[in-house]
Amino acid sequence: MSKLGFGQNNKRYGLMKLVFVLSFATLVGIALFAHFLRTSSSSSISFTYQSIASLNRAAEKPADNIVASDSQDHQKEGCEHKNGSLEGRVLSATFADLPAPELEWEQMPSAPVPRLDGYSVQIKNLFYVFVGYRNLDHVHSHVDVYNFSDNTWCDRFDTPKDMANSHLGVATDGRYVYIVSGQNGTQCRTAITTCFSLDTETRKWHRLPPLPAPRYAPATQLWRGRLHVMGGSKENRHTPGLDHWSIAVKNGKALDEWRTETPIPRGGPHRACVVVDDRLLVIGGQEGDFMAKPGSPIFKCSRRKEVYRLISLFLLDHIGF
């Protein structure tokens, strides 16, 4: 019996010893963890303060000292001074304001009618504004003319009855205005292939050969004696077209037929198109557009996903002859 009691006492003592060791280890662990949290919090506060202080110092510097090259940005960002303070992030020259004269906007006389997707060209002191939507159920079929000499809307004349009312391709040589394809009618009606030229001195219209396929808002420009038409949306109004056609023109008349040129890498409507240093540039634009609702007798517009290419730029400096 005495041996049995002695054994039980040893077991009880061993268990108490184990509990004591585990409790002590737990307390030590908690103390170390608390110390770690306190140290980390202090470092974080110090880092935040130093970052704010360095940013304030950077903000107080002159603007000339803020602008730096991209390579300098990568080298300086996050680096430490010898005294341990952090240097503020500098602004890339890409985003810095360029020195230029300040331009002020001036309120001009309001247009005779509201317009959406109207197209315009300036020839000498006259500004011609073509067709466009008044709203989805009303389109214009005329041209309004603004005179910059006396700041008045001075004239209005009709367009041909079978000319498009919106989504045109437009270019001018300084006298003749070339009108290409576009949408005929309201809502999201079909595009047409008809093309015209306008003699702005006589106000007479002349019919040109129809475009090989209808397009909505193709990029259009005169280059090296030819009228170039690129991209736009295809017949369903949503699919970007990649086609590029050209036709020789002079004095508002066509000298040959449309021919196929180098396709544009990415198509779509509503793009700017200019000639710079004898090179043809196509800028920005859109991919996709509203489509006519299936089965709608009025071709009611139905929203689709559009993608805007604000920074896309394509350049063409050679074509075959």
Percent of the chain with pLDDT strictly greater than 70: 72
For residue 259, tell me if it sits in a domain. Answer: yes
For residue 222, tell me if it sits in a domain. Answer: yes
The DSSP code sequence of 82-119 is: TTSPBPPPPEEGGGSPPP-PPP-----PPPSS--BS-E
| Beta bridge partner(s), residue 156 | 144
Residue 238 and residue 205 share a domain:
yes
Residue 137 and residue 91 share a domain:
no
Q: Which two tokens stand for residue 29?
A: 């662990």
Phi, psi (deg, nearest 5) at residue 130:
-105, 135
At 37, the pLDDT band (50, 70, 90 cuts) reads low
Model pLDDT, residue 220: 98
Least confident stretch, 23-32, 66-75, 206-215: 66-75
> First-to-last CA distance in the chain?
120
pTM listed for this prediction: 0.68
Count of domains for the chain: 2
Each residue's pLDDT tens digit, 244-294: 999 999 999 999 999 999 999 999 999 999 999 999 999 988 888 999 999
| 156: Cβ contacts below 8 Å, ≥ 6 apart | 112, 142, 143, 144, 145
Q: Of residues 3 and 87, which shows the higher confidence score?
A: 87
pLDDT for 40 beyond 80: no
For residue 281, tell me if it sits in a domain. Answer: yes
Residue 149 and residue 91 share a domain:
no
Model pLDDT, residue 44: 43
Half-sphere exposure of residue 38: CA atoms within 13 angstroms, side-chain side: 6
Residue 236 and residue 299 share a domain:
yes
Distances (CA, A) of 285 to 93, 118, 220, 307, 312: 26, 16, 13, 9, 8
Model pLDDT, residue 45: 38
Residue 49 and residue 179 share a domain:
no
Each residue's pLDDT tens digit, 123-169: 999 999 999 999 999 999 999 999 999 999 999 999 999 999 999 99
| Beta bridge partner(s), residue 206 | 197
pLDDT for 303 beyond 50: yes
Residue 186 and residue 80 share a domain:
no
Kindly state the DSSP code that residue 162 receives in the 8-state scheme: T
* Cα angle for residues 274, 280, 281 (degrees, 5° grid): 60
Q: Which two tokens stand for residue 115?
A: 């317009």
At 48, the pLDDT band (50, 70, 90 cuts) reads very low
Out of 95, 111, 140, a domain closes at 95
For residue 102, tell me if it sits in a domain. Answer: no
At 9, the pLDDT band (50, 70, 90 cuts) reads low
Tokens 């634009």 map to which residue?
285
Out of 61, 95, 129, a domain closes at 95
3-state secondary structure of 285: coil
* Sheet strand arrangement including 204-208: 169-172, 176-180, 195-199, 204-208
Residue 134 and residue 22 share a domain:
no
Model pLDDT, residue 20: 74
For residue 14, tell me if it sits in a domain. Answer: yes
3-state secondary structure of 280: strand
pLDDT for 218 beyond 50: yes
Over the chain, what is the mean pLDDT?
81
Model pLDDT, residue 228: 98
Q: Which two tokens stand for residue 104?
A: 């002020």
Model pLDDT, residue 72: 44
Residue 257 and residue 296 share a domain:
yes
Out of 62, 95, 128, a domain closes at 95
Residue 131 and residue 87 share a domain:
no
Distance CA 86, CA 58 (A): 11
Q: Of residues 25 and 300, which shows the higher confidence score?
A: 300
pLDDT for 13 beyond 90: no
CB 257 within 8 A of CB 248: no
Half-sphere exposure of residue 214: CA atoms within 13 angstroms, side-chain side: 18
Distance CA 237, CA 1 (A): 102
Model pLDDT, residue 64: 39
CATH (domain of 178): 2.120.10.80
For residue 44, tell me if it sits in a domain. Answer: yes
Residue 86 and residue 151 share a domain:
no
For residue 59, tell me if it sits in a domain. Answer: yes
- Where b means 16+ CB within 10 Å and e means fewer, 84-117 reads eebbbbbeeeeeeeeeeeeeeeeeeeeeeeebeb
At 217, the pLDDT band (50, 70, 90 cuts) reads very high
3-state secondary structure of 286: strand
Q: Of residues 109 and 318, which shows the higher confidence score?
A: 109
Burial class (CB in 10 A: 0-12, 13-18, 19+), 143: buried
Residue 169 and residue 62 share a domain:
no
pLDDT for 172 beyond 70: yes
Q: Which domain holds residue 244?
A: 119-316
Mean pLDDT calculated for residue range 297-319: 72
For residue 235, tell me if it sits in a domain. Answer: yes
Model pLDDT, residue 170: 98
Residue 128 and residue 36 share a domain:
no
